[in-house]
Amino acid sequence: MNLSLNLASNECKPEPLGKLTSFGLGGPAQRMFRPGSLDDLVGVLKTCRAQHLPWRLLGSGANVLVSDSGFAGAVIQLSEPEFTRVEFRDRTVFAGGAVDVPTLIHKTNLKGLAGLEVLGGIPGTVGGCIRMNAGGRFGEIGALVRRVHVLDERGRDEWIDREHVGFAYRQTGLEGRIIVGAEFELRRENPARIRERLLEVWAFKKGSQPLADFSAGCIFRNPPGESAGRLIDQAGLKGLRCGKACVSEQHANFIVAEPGAAADDVIELIRRIRERVYERYEVRLELEIEVW
Ligand code: EPU
């Protein structure tokens, strides 16, 4: 059955997903949808359900490694304009799920609304960053969220207040749901002071992480009370390589994909890092990124 006939505005030609991720690696999805409204998105979810198609939501691809064979199912990417809206009401900001977080930081900064600058230098969409409670030493996105607008896999929508989202270290209880938007509650502050803090956060990140390279940020979650980067570094694994993938010399929890790398190179490197860290410290490193 050719559903592109009745879903013409949503369904697009599958393309290599690598082009849509910060790793720059990976094959195409079997089907690719870019719904531009909530109704379109509900239609896509219904199609997936009716056809037993597994689906994944792709934000800006900052935390995903797509395998070389691609994804055997549907990949949904929210597209303008419904999902890129930003609206201000006093200290409350609504942002659509596909809004780019660095852009949102810039917009709120200009309005003299503080809070999001702690996420400076973190790539990703509002949906992606909330889904995994993105953050670092300066703070996490969850602390700034007032409520989240989600769709479940049947296409039913609901608003979930922050205390029911399940924000924890790099996780939430939102698996299987699509974040279509969120409200943030920010503080009023002088834009120049917010900007100053943003630059500090940025300088720290730039000084300690290989931001200009193809990577997916930190590969592993930090084990309780430890830093995965420090363990990998102390195990002597900086510079370890498989094919064209290597452990960053700047921050050991980053894997950098050099030109010509394959997703399999990264997967093999992940396996070796885990093995070596376990042999040395008896710590089992858990992935922070998603592998599709
Ligand atoms: N360290 C090393 N060698 C390394 C890397 C780090 O010895 O190669 C040491 C550092 O010197 C420091 C400690 O390990 O004493 C912690 O390092 P860092 O401050 O860089 O923080 P991290 O725990 O490695 C976390 C987040 C980052 C976030 C930074 C800064 C995780 C897995 N990582 O890294 O998030 O940017 O804090 O806020 O939670 C990401 O999630 O993708 C990410 C990059």
| Residues 122-129, mean pLDDT to the nearest whole number | 97
> 239: burial class by Cβ within 10 Å (0-12, 13-18, 19+)?
exposed
Question: Ligand 1 site: residues with CB under 6 angstroms?
Answer: 136-137, 205, 208, 217-218, 221-222, 227-230, 233, 251-253, 288
pTM, entire model = 0.94
- Closest atom, ligand 1, to C-alpha of 170: 39
96-116: b (≥16 Cβ within 10 Å) or e:
bbbbbbbebbebbbeebbbbb
Distance CA 117, CA 223 (A): 26
Please state, for a pLDDT cut of 70, what percent of the chain lies above it. Answer: 97
Q: Check whether 46 has a pLDDT greater than 90.
A: yes
Mutating to test ligand 1, I would choose from 230, 249, 273 the residue with most ligand atoms within 8 A of its C-beta, which is 230
- Do 244 and 68 meet the contact criterion of CB atoms below 8 Å apart? no
Q: What is the mean pLDDT of the chain?
A: 95
Reduce the DSSP state of residue 150 to 3 states and report it. Answer: strand
Residue 56 to residues 178, 233, 249, 251, 281: CA-CA distances in angstroms? 9, 33, 32, 29, 34
- Closest atom, ligand 1, to C-alpha of 252: 8
Strand stretches in 37-107, DSSP E: 55-57, 64-65, 71-76, 86-89, 92-96
Structure tokens at 17: 């997903």
Distance 137 CA to ligand 1 centre (A): 8
Mutating to test ligand 1, I would choose from 206, 227, 251, 281 the residue with most ligand atoms within 8 A of its C-beta, which is 227
Half-sphere exposure at residue 173, Cβ-oriented, CA atoms within 13 angstroms: 7
Distance 50 CA to ligand 1 centre (A): 43
Distance CA 157, CA 134 (A): 23
| Residues 77-105, mean pLDDT to the nearest whole number | 96
- Do 38 and 83 meet the contact criterion of CB atoms below 8 Å apart? no
- Do 172 and 133 meet the contact criterion of CB atoms below 8 Å apart? yes
Angle (CA) 183-185-191 rounded to 5° is 120
Structure tokens at 132: 């995994």
Phi then psi for 4, rounded to 5 degrees? -65, -15
Model confidence pLDDT, tens digit, residues 179-197: 999 999 999 999 999 999 9
For atom 40 of ligand 1, the residue with the nearest CA is 218
Distance 99 CA to ligand 1 centre (A): 26
Mutating to test ligand 1, I would choose from 218, 226, 283 the residue with most ligand atoms within 8 A of its C-beta, which is 218
Q: pLDDT band at residue 4, thresholds of 50, 70 and 90? A: very low
- The pLDDT of residue 79 is 87
Distance 175 CA to ligand 1 centre (A): 25
- The pLDDT of residue 9 is 63
Residue from 103, 127, 98 nearest 116 by CA: 103
Rg (CA), the chain: 19
